[in-house]
Structure 1
């Protein structure tokens, strides 16, 4: 089956960290949402002629967590949550790509705090094109969700009004731009 993606060029693409981010969102006190971000360490996208055979490997610097509150960020880096001293990197390795209407689903293994679980991200291609310096780039947004407790991120506090301080479900959004390597 041939999939036609405008501007698609096969090759190996390296993530441009200055134009990429891993964002997340979680319920706080069951009444609002807290958003934050991580910095990518690196990511490589291998795009063969058939886009359904594409693969990605990505590493995220867990200590880069930024929720706009240094106290909370320090707690997230601690052993209560990510334990960045012992687990400095979060990784994703794809295991397959599937068509989903006009977009794609990317299946893979996500490793957080030493625990690996399968996850699926909905991938929306932003497109491909030549940058002002003659390089070739592609962009995409991937969205998915995980249950943080399945990855050993179990710290919480009960609230007097019922419920807990931190929700279990984490929404993840990856905004990515990558450059074709020569």
Structure 2
């Protein structure tokens, strides 16, 4: 039976706005099937509308696809091209939540992820970091959310076969959101 209400110590209802200087969107993907390439994106915006019941919270977030950074400008240029993200045609990556749920004691945020013009349902496992007041009186919250998606499900299918077998780029991408937000003052 799904939980209909949870107690989250420090939780406050209201509208929460992302603090981009204390937040990041990172990813990792297998390279040549032997190592991982890691990178990040810049977050354009994120808002959480949080009613009294935390399980009714809704999230909307937008990422600037052209901001991809893997510490290799040549690779980043390729990732921005039509072979991958095609940022000229699809400049953003977006997430819209559809539900928040507890399963086996873990918290999940389900929603629709739109990337490369394709929208698919995903579930982020959410780890709350906590709540607190900064030196300027702003009420803050922190959380980490993680999911794994198959990039080919989003039309990101470019690859190259290796002489030794396998492929250059793995299918599964681990996406991690490390977020901090502020409760809007009323």
Same fold (TM over 0.5): yes
Query: What is the match of residue 131 of structure 1?
Result: 134
Of 97, 106, 115, the match for 1:103: 106
Unmatched segments (≥5 aa) in structure 1? none
Q: Does 1:119 align with 2:125?
A: no
Contact 1:76 1:82 in 2 (8 A): yes
Q: Does 1:177 align with 2:161?
A: no
CA distance in 1, matches of 2:8, 2:105: 10
1:18-167 equivalences under 5 Å are 18-167=21-170
Of 15, 26, 29, the match for 2:18: 15
CA distance in 1, matches of 2:68, 2:145: 19
- TM-superposed deviation, 1:103: 3.5
Instruction: Name the SS of the counterpart of 2:85 in structure 1.
Output: coil
CA distance in 2, matches of 1:79, 1:56: 29
CA distance in 2, matches of 1:30, 1:3: 41
Give the superposed CA RMSD. 0.9
CA distance in 1, matches of 2:38, 2:7: 35
- Higher mean alpha-carbon deviation, 169-178 vs 96-105, is at 96-105
Query: What is the match of residue 168 of structure 1?
Result: 171
Contact 1:59 1:91 in 2 (8 A): yes
CA distance in 2, matches of 1:3, 1:120: 19
- TM-superposed deviation, 1:102: 4.2
- TM-score, normalised to structure 2, is 0.96
- Higher mean alpha-carbon deviation, 100-109 vs 70-79, is at 100-109
Q: Deviations over 1:3-60 (max 9, x none)?
A: 2211111000000111111110000001100000001000000111101101100000
Q: Deviations over 1:51-95 (max 9, x none)?
A: 110110000001110000000000000000000011110000000
CA distance in 2, matches of 1:39, 1:21: 7
